[in-house]
Amino acid sequence: MTQPLPEALAAYFAANNRHDIEGMLLPFSDAATVRDEGEEMRGTAEIRAWMEKTTRKYRATAEMKDLDWNGETYQVAALVSGSFPGSPAILHYKFGLTDDRITDLEIG
């Protein structure tokens, strides 16, 4: 890893691994956008619904393997385990941050 993990990202992954929806949502800005599985969620209500659905469906946990900062986004590679075909798998997360809040997340 080339960068220390920003506090907002550490909080997101820790809460994700506890399956704590409130904790996962806390580091996001009110106007954040999430893109995952071909869908786009905007704002707190849509992001909460996505978190509830995916947590219930996959019960996934993520172990960070690599972190890079390209000057605009933090890119995290994580080994994700859960109840989905091909588990465990390396997933790539791209985070945008503003004022220590997650403003953008793309998972692929």
Nearest-angstrom CA–CA distance, 17 and 24: 9
Q: What is the CATH number of domain 7-107?
A: 3.10.450.50
User: Where would I find the beta strands (DSSP E) of the chain?
Assistant: 28-36, 39-42, 61-69, 74-81, 89-98, 101-107
In tens, the pLDDT along 48-106 reads 999 999 999 999 999 999 999 998 999 999 999 999 999 999 999 999 999 999 999 99
Which pTM was predicted?
Answer: 0.94
Residue whose structure tokens are 């791209």:
94
